[in-house]
Amino acid sequence: MLTAKEALRLLHRGEVSSRELTQEVLKQIERTEPAVHAFLTVVAEQALAEAEQADKHLAQARRDGDEIPPLLGLPVAVKDVLITKGIRTTAGSRILENFVPPFDATSVRRVKEAGAVIVGKTNTDEFAMGSSTENSAFGVTHNPWDLERVPGGSSGGSAAAVAARMVPVALGTDTGGSVRQPAAFCGVTGLKTTYGRISRYGLIAYGSSLDTVGVLSQDAADAALFLNIMAGRDPLDATSVDAPIPPAELRARDDLRGLKIGVPREYFGGGIQPEVESAVRAALEVFADMGAEITEISLPHTEYAVPVYYLIAPAEASANLARFDGIRYGPRVPADSMWDVFRRTRGRLFGAEVKRRIMLGTYALSAGYYDAYYGKAQKVRTLIKRDFETAFEKVDLIAAPVAPSTAFRIGEHTNDPLAMYLEDVFTLPANLAGVPGVSFPVGFDRLGLPIGMQLMGAHFQEHLILEVVHTYQQATDWHRHQPDPLGDDEE
Ligand code: GLN
């Protein structure tokens, strides 16, 4: 499978048609889906019709010398927590099983306006709550590198779809790591944007102060292209920011002289798989060889990220999920009274993890406990944010592992929610601080499972991070390795 940029170049030159490209994508989905299950919905007919429209548009633009919309004719997939007009959107939940939204998320709308063809919706943990897609109501996604392992989550479907080369690019969301961690587990590149960089309008809300839209792609160059298209102020999201939009193109640097990369000591040490640490350290060597200055730094409040996040995110979720009551969206479990309709619909159609979080969040917000839990967590969140501010006075970027281990086995953590939460220790701080981060492949463990590393930057520094990752990806080829989920090594 081509990268998005490669595909667009061929499309623009007329060397391939959108129809051909979309057919190729659908064929690859058909072959691989039975093993991987990355998708909840595939809209083959609609995608082919749109591809034909795109081909007409392309032909006309070429004839008349008009400007070609940047994504015209490119097939993409969208995580099923981003609302898509006319395409079923479930958030991985039974409670939205038959919900067909009447509008597009702003991120989706912008990608469509740029000419992209939506081919389907990817699997996710229910309401993006999870780190493995095992919380999806519609079955787990299998990691294309080892079908017995999870792809990570919650954007596991998007990561697996890109890794298995079903689509060149997929949109995801990251509230506590949901773009970066599956990117790491599946050996793809994942961009988590600055909070407010891309409109959240139409992102089914989980933790509203943490939710961000992101991109999963084969490389940093494609992430930059999509960031450029989706970024920007949106009157429909009051927290979206009117900051200068980063350019769509990345320039590989000749060297990294003058760049300071901080390595937080709290992110290494106990509990991390030795192969993950050594791959990250090896990548740091590459950066050092290119002239970057690597220094040890401290983010002293890191150890509180897990408890703080698992108070704030469920608290916000408990409020956000109140709207799913069987009246407005999705299926309804009938009953005699209104209250019983609410109770039964929510009782029967929310999964166990969602209910757990609603209870945790409601408890943390309740009178008498608010100050001790939610209020306290907000204060510690400020300290975590300050850790980053202090660090970015000294360094340009922060380097860290994405997850303590490579992809774990399906079922390995399902009986122990706490163990699952602890997996998020390296990704949660960026969300609590609102800063951007990119996860990218830096090696494999001895089982052949991909290892990811993340670079985090100060607010709105996506372009700097992506440029550095791009420079790394010009010098190395970890991001070009492909899994062989069907064991036929056809490519
Ligand atoms: N794994 C984290 C959680 O379960 C993060 C999920 C996310 O980023 N959406 O909340």
Buried b / exposed e over 85-95, threshold 16 CB at 10 Å, is bebbbbbbbbb
What are the residues facing 173 on neighbouring strands?
213
Looking up tokens 């945790």, which residue turns up?
A: 360
Q: Between the CA of residue 95 and those of 80, 92, 415, what are the distances in Å?
A: 13, 9, 23
The order of strands in the sheet holding 437-444 is 39-42, 117-122, 75-79, 169-173, 213-217, 189-192, 437-444, 450-457, 397-401, 260-264, 293-297
Q: Is 178 in the pocket of ligand 1 (CB under 6 A)?
A: yes
CATH of domain 4-262+392-480: 3.90.1300.10
Q: Which residues contact 226 (CB under 8 A, 6 or more apart)?
A: 4, 111, 169, 171, 191, 215, 217
DSSP one-letter code for 126:
G
Catalytic, 208? Answer no
Active-site position among 131, 136, 178, 217: 178
Residues 170, 216: contact at Cβ < 8 Å? yes
Q: Is 133 in the pocket of ligand 1 (CB under 6 A)?
A: no
Residue nearest to atom 4 of ligand 1 (CA): 130
Going from the Cα of 145 to the center of ligand 1, the distance in angstroms, rounded, reads 22
Provide the residue ranges of all domains of the chain, joining segments of one domain with +: 4-262+392-480
Task: Looking at the CA of residue 431, tell me the nearest atom of ligand 1.
Answer: 8
Going from the Cα of 427 to the center of ligand 1, the distance in angstroms, rounded, reads 9
Q: Is 207 in the pocket of ligand 1 (CB under 6 A)?
A: no
Residues 179, 216: contact at Cβ < 8 Å? yes
Q: Is 174 in the pocket of ligand 1 (CB under 6 A)?
A: yes
| pTM given for the model | 0.97
- Please state, in angstroms and rounded to a whole number, the distance separating the CA atoms of residues 356 and 365: 14
- Please state, in angstroms and rounded to a whole number, the distance separating the CA atoms of residues 13 and 366: 60
Q: Print pLDDT tens along the chain (491 aa).
A: 899 999 999 999 999 999 999 999 999 999 999 999 999 999 999 999 999 999 999 999 999 999 999 999 999 999 999 999 999 999 999 999 999 999 999 999 999 999 999 999 999 999 999 999 999 999 999 999 999 999 999 999 999 999 999 999 999 999 999 999 999 999 999 999 999 999 999 999 999 999 999 999 999 999 999 999 999 999 999 999 999 999 999 999 999 999 999 999 999 977 899 999 999 999 999 999 999 999 999 999 999 999 999 999 999 999 999 999 999 888 999 999 999 999 999 999 999 999 999 999 999 999 899 999 999 999 999 999 999 999 999 999 999 999 999 999 999 999 999 889 999 999 999 999 999 999 999 999 999 999 999 999 999 999 999 999 999 999 999 999 999 999 886 54
Q: Is 154 in the pocket of ligand 1 (CB under 6 A)?
A: yes
Catalytic, 178? Answer yes
- Please state, in angstroms and rounded to a whole number, the distance separating the CA atoms of residues 439 and 401: 9
pLDDT of residue 491: 46
